[in-house]
Amino acid sequence: MSELQAESNHRVTRVTVWNEFVHERRDDSVRAIYPEGMHTVVGRAIERYLGDTVSVRYATLDQPDHGLGGSVLEETDVLTWWGHCAHDQVSDAVVDRVVTNVLQGMGLLVMHSAHYSKVFKRLMGTGCGLRWRNEEDRELVWSVNPGHPICKDVPSPIIIPRQEMYGEFFDIPQPDELIFISSFSGGEVFRSGCCFGRGRGRVFYFSPGDQEYPVYHNEGVARVIANGVRWCAPSQRDSAALSAPRAPLGWFESEEAHRG
Amino acid sequence: MSELQAESNHRVTRVTVWNEFVHERRDDSVRAIYPEGMHTVVGRAIERYLGDTVSVRYATLDQPDHGLGGSVLEETDVLTWWGHCAHDQVSDAVVDRVVTNVLQGMGLLVMHSAHYSKVFKRLMGTGCGLRWRNEEDRELVWSVNPGHPICKDVPSPIIIPRQEMYGEFFDIPQPDELIFISSFSGGEVFRSGCCFGRGRGRVFYFSPGDQEYPVYHNEGVARVIANGVRWCAPSQRDSAALSAPRAPLGWFESEEAHRG
Amino acid sequence: MSELQAESNHRVTRVTVWNEFVHERRDDSVRAIYPEGMHTVVGRAIERYLGDTVSVRYATLDQPDHGLGGSVLEETDVLTWWGHCAHDQVSDAVVDRVVTNVLQGMGLLVMHSAHYSKVFKRLMGTGCGLRWRNEEDRELVWSVNPGHPICKDVPSPIIIPRQEMYGEFFDIPQPDELIFISSFSGGEVFRSGCCFGRGRGRVFYFSPGDQEYPVYHNEGVARVIANGVRWCAPSQRDSAALSAPRAPLGWFESEEAHRG
Amino acid sequence: MSELQAESNHRVTRVTVWNEFVHERRDDSVRAIYPEGMHTVVGRAIERYLGDTVSVRYATLDQPDHGLGGSVLEETDVLTWWGHCAHDQVSDAVVDRVVTNVLQGMGLLVMHSAHYSKVFKRLMGTGCGLRWRNEEDRELVWSVNPGHPICKDVPSPIIIPRQEMYGEFFDIPQPDELIFISSFSGGEVFRSGCCFGRGRGRVFYFSPGDQEYPVYHNEGVARVIANGVRWCAPSQRDSAALSAPRAPLGWFESEEAHRG
């Protein structure tokens, strides 16, 4: 049986890092921070911490099917999502496929302003609004669930010297597990790290990361993203997850059924 | 200050009981059980238990705007929803308005096969599928949160001699509070009473109630519905709930803001 | 049936406000703020907001059985608890009785430094530690569950100009419902309003309220306490809650059992 | 950085399987099922599924300090606990040390009748009672969180042909994650797989497993136990978890603090 285990330990988590990739091309201030795009910094952070247990690919809005066509999603264990100014340019067909894959088991890591992405709003069922201010607040990210795997080796607080303020009330359903709470120098608070189960999939929302500040270069933030990827990675995937089968009396008594 | 309280105690909860109202007109077997429609039996149960603290009105699919036009929703504290064979005939415009009102504070009590209604699926963000079988299983409804107000004066178990089976996995997000779990004589289990917060609103899903069985005539079931209406009733409503305001530094220091 | 309802609306919630009542007698600085004891200010706040739907009595550490002997607890719907420097003087027999009554349905509102009371630690099962600093931080108390009845008419944020800092990690189980998060001017955050179910009872922890600052004179704080009392009040009480009965096959089929 | 990862992947989870080990010596019927004690069957199941990623040792009530003296607990990542007829023979000193280690991060897997163990009751804070009947009910164990790692490769339902009935109301706090619900042929239901966070530690309660039936020989049950051990294993451990440090203004601004 240790073969099974060995296999499980060496199985590679396939990550697709998705980025809207508009600001970096359009705004000098953003390009100065992320010359190759935010996604590359995020992807390298994941590789740096997770090593050869992970394989990273990239996808962006401007690609055909936003880079998520064919079997990309079916071959993705964890999708990370960053968007801000072009949420409405994401096609509904792609949104449907992302949501379906999450409900079947794909992990989803939702970053910063993607709180307002179509994908996140669909999975939450709420408005996902929040208070905001872009005036260089200092953000402190505090762990409130220090035994959780997402907190492993993460300082509490993570200190982000300059950052956009995101404040409560954040219109999400109560998270299944609340991991981080941030304070801002202006006095606001925010539930900045939130875990949700949706269908067979896991969703982790992590708010630090505005395009105007070098937040994804912060090592504490990078560590959280890597831990989040690992937490979101599915145990198993079920392509029949969205069915609603009729179950004849005693259906589970056949051997096949209870073998699982 | 006791005036405030008195007002609060005597405030009437305005309930709108919504019914698809198709089976009762089309199927003799259903009309035999609910000659005036299921909604009237549900509405009377609510009146029977909540007395003059409640006012009940009705709305059905076949009415203009499904009976939910004008300011009906804005003047509804708790909406109950039953649907089965005509989910797709509910207009998206009405669904949008129901969802918006829930997020602003309106209570929503979702009944039985309305697990597959557009309204519920939108608020959950998941597929909402389940296993099912219509073969006269006996359902037992057990309280697993006996101190919760929805369990007040409810027997545990409620015994429903004949009922459609709904079985796990029920594809909903983990409820904020799980109130009832049902077993069926065929051996399945189901999370049959589930509380969710969505925005400023409260959603209670309660599964007993197929059109082919006289389930809404059961007093235990009626009691749960009445308790559920009371639990869903909003403390306050916020028509600005879906905004995402910019919050200038120190915005809350003005008197108006912190007066709430 | 409207009689039932009328009864329920007019039923008086019996509140016992418990105070260690040591600082107010010993420390001039505290007596200056609470000359008759903190409990009287808390009790009057509850009366002010809940009017004749509530009856308030007081109990203190120095009384026989800490004022909780005889049938006081059995005749209490909601107990509020404030303690700080004399937790270890509370007798284990009284702690046992308080815990038993909570598990049977009595509400418990735990205030500020009572996070370290024997009663709260027993009900939580964790260490209940936190970070602290007594240097006149400004505390802002933010609602993160604005549709919850405890937030009714509560400003967000409540501004407390000077207060002891309580900071994360707060070693409690994840609350069933998180209601408030505070920030402090020094940058820390704290889960300052937390709802827990324990047995048939409800527990609400609310952290504002140090003896060195006039926090219980703040109207926002007073409102939360009144709302919290109402939320904690039991729907029903079960003196057999701690039994573990053998259940013979079919025990629930007798009429008495399923009548509830 | 892949070195770090490699280390993490190959790190062995140290499991201590604790058993009261009274029934197997005293009762012929139990010895027939578990001639070397239940703990050996449990331990071998863990080894069978987790292979060389785990090391298993055993401890029993009759040993000095119940086999948990010296640094055994500090060197245990996950402790499994089975007890039934001798809960009160477990010394309070050992209970204190187990609880402290859980709060510092040690995982705890609580099995069947250990719902009434001192250790579990201390960590829950509730009465932990339930309904029961020992009359050879068939138990079906249904997954209600199929994406959770504890459900990996577990059939739904697990069919246990003969088993003691455990029924609701089970007097525990609402679990952070509910994983399994069982039905019994007599009609009762039970939350049979429950996840809790306590301090930095994780607790998994799994109810199948009476001494009178060969439940731990069931492969589905064995798989759940193995998965549960892996889920409980700590990310990190904090021997200072029970402190409540004073935090001077700006304490976190030193480099050491925010490095974590």
Distance between CA atoms of residues A229 and A225, nearest Å: 6
Residue to mutate among D183, D184, D191, D194, with most B CBs inside 10 A, is D183
Which of A2, A258, A259 has the CB atom closest to D52's CB atom?
Answer: A2
CA angle B250, B256, B259 (to 5 degrees): 100
> What pLDDT is attached to residue D210?
86
CA angle D31, D37, D40 (to 5 degrees): 140
What's the gap in Å between the CA of B176 and the closest CA on chain A?
7
Task: Give the chain C residue nearest B234 (alpha carbons).
Answer: C147
B157/C252 Cβ within 8 A: yes
β-bridge partners, B18:
B59, B81
Which of C2, C146, C197 has the CB atom closest to B147's CB atom?
Answer: C197
Distance between CA atoms of residues A51 and B102, nearest Å: 45
Q: Which residues of B touch A116 (CB under 8 A)?
A: 244
Residue at A210: amino acid letter: D
D258/A157 Cβ within 8 A: yes
C169/A146 Cβ within 8 A: yes
What's the gap in Å between the CA of A125 and the closest CA on chain D?
19
Higher pLDDT, C9 or A16: A16
Task: Give the chain B residue nearest C103 (alpha carbons).
Answer: B147
State the CB neighbour count (10 A cutoff) for residue B69.
14
β-bridge partners, A205:
A110, A194
pLDDT band at B256 (very low <50, low <70, confident <90, very high): low
Q: Over 80: is that where the pLDDT of D9 sits?
A: no
State the CB neighbour count (10 A cutoff) for residue D60.
19
Higher pLDDT, B8 or B182: B182
Q: Where are the domains of chain C?
A: 2-125+190-238
Which of C144, C146, C168 has the CB atom closest to A142's CB atom?
Answer: C168
Give the distance from CA A56 to its chain's centroid: 14
Residue to mutate among A9, A195, A254, with most D CBs inside 10 A, is A9
Residue to mutate among C137, C140, C144, with most A CBs inside 10 A, is C144
Task: Give the chain C residue nearest B235 (alpha carbons).
Answer: C149
> What pLDDT is attached to residue A3?
38
Tens digit of each residue's pLDDT (9 = 90 or more) over C241-260: 888 889 999 999 876 566 54
Q: Which residues of D touch C176 (CB under 8 A)?
A: 173-174
Strand ranges (E), A119-256: 131-143, 158-167, 177-184, 189-198, 201-206
Q: Which residues of A touch D47 (CB under 8 A)?
A: 1
Q: A200: helix, coil or strand?
A: coil
Which of C170, C174, C181 has the CB atom closest to A189's CB atom?
Answer: C181
C127/D241 Cβ within 8 A: yes
Q: Over 50: is that where the pLDDT of B4 sits?
A: no
What's the gap in Å between the CA of C20 and the closest CA on chain D?
21
Taking a C-beta distance cutoff of 8 angstroms, is the pair A125, B124 a contact? yes
B189/D182 Cβ within 8 A: yes
Strand ranges (E), chain C: 13-19, 54-60, 78-82, 107-111, 131-143, 158-167, 177-184, 189-198, 201-206
Half-sphere exposure of C4 (CA within 13 A, CB side): 10
Tokens representing residue B89 in the block: 């005939």
C151/B6 Cβ within 8 A: no
Alpha helices in chain C (DSSP H): 2-10, 23-26, 28-33, 38-50, 92-104, 118-124, 219-232, 255-259
Which of B142, B177, B189 has the CB atom closest to D142's CB atom?
Answer: B189
For chains B and D, count residue pairs whose Cβ atoms are closer than 8 Å.
Answer: 68
What's the gap in Å between the CA of B176 and the closest CA on chain D?
10
Q: Over 80: is that where the pLDDT of C8 sits?
A: no
A149/D260 Cβ within 8 A: no
Which of D146, D184, D191 has the CB atom closest to B169's CB atom?
Answer: D146
Looking at the domain C2-125+190-238, which fold is it? Rossmann fold (3.40.50)
What's the gap in Å between the CA of A116 and the closest CA on chain D?
25
> What pLDDT is attached to residue D257?
61
B200/C147 Cβ within 8 A: yes
A9/D9 Cβ within 8 A: yes
> What pLDDT is attached to residue B257?
61
What's the gap in Å between the CA of D200 and the closest CA on chain C?
8
- Chains touching C (at least 3 CB pairs under 8 A) are A, B, D
CA angle A118, A120, A123 (to 5 degrees): 105
Q: Are strands B201-206 and B189-198 parallel, antiparallel or unpaired?
A: antiparallel
Taking a C-beta distance cutoff of 8 angstroms, is the pair D147, A201 a contact? yes
Measured CA distances, D92 to A241, B127, C98, D95, D122 (Å): 47, 48, 22, 5, 11
Q: Which residues of D touch C127 (CB under 8 A)?
A: 103, 199, 241-242, 244
Residue to mutate among B98, B117, B123, B126, with most A CBs inside 10 A, is B126
- Chains touching D (at least 3 CB pairs under 8 A) are A, B, C
D252/C171 Cβ within 8 A: no
The DSSP code for D246 is B
C152/B4 Cβ within 8 A: no
What's the gap in Å between the CA of B188 and the closest CA on chain A?
9
Tens digit of each residue's pLDDT (9 = 90 or more) over D199-258: 999 999 999 998 999 999 999 999 999 999 999 999 999 988 888 889 999 999 876 566
A49/D5 Cβ within 8 A: yes
Tens digit of each residue's pLDDT (9 = 90 or more) over D146-181: 999 999 999 999 999 999 999 999 999 999 999 999
Residues near C253 by Cβ (< 8 Å), separated by ≥ 6?
A: B159
Which of B125, B133, B246 has the CB atom closest to A133's CB atom?
Answer: B246
Domain D2-125+194-239 has CATH 3.30.1490.190: no
Which class in CATH covers the domain with range A12-126+190-239?
alpha beta
D235/A9 Cβ within 8 A: no
Residue to mutate among D235, D243, D251, D254, with most A CBs inside 10 A, is D235
- Each residue of C81-98: b (16+ CB within 10 Å) or e? bbbbeebeebeeebbebb
> What pLDDT is attached to residue A210?
86
pLDDT band at B2 (very low <50, low <70, confident <90, very high): very low
> What pLDDT is attached to residue D7?
40
B187/D157 Cβ within 8 A: yes
Taking a C-beta distance cutoff of 8 angstroms, is the pair C251, C257 a contact? yes
Distance between CA atoms of residues B171 and B174, nearest Å: 9
- Chains touching A (at least 3 CB pairs under 8 A) are B, C, D
Residue to mutate among C168, C171, C189, with most D CBs inside 10 A, is C171
Q: Over 60: is that where the pLDDT of B10 sits?
A: no
Q: What is the mean pLDDT of residues B48-67?
A: 97
Tens digit of each residue's pLDDT (9 = 90 or more) over D130-143: 999 999 999 999 99
Task: Give the chain C residue nearest B153 (alpha carbons).
Answer: C260
> What pLDDT is attached to residue C1?
32
CATH number of this structure's domain B2-123+192-239: 3.40.50.880
What's the gap in Å between the CA of C130 and the closest CA on chain D?
5
B48/C1 Cβ within 8 A: yes
> What pLDDT is attached to residue B244?
86
Taking a C-beta distance cutoff of 8 angstroms, is the pair D88, D79 a contact? no
> What pLDDT is attached to residue A1?
32
Q: A220: helix, coil or strand?
A: helix
**Which residues does chain A have with pLDDT short of 50?**
1-9, 260
Task: Give the chain C residue nearest D103 (alpha carbons).
Answer: C126
Distance between CA atoms of residues B192 and B179, nearest Å: 8
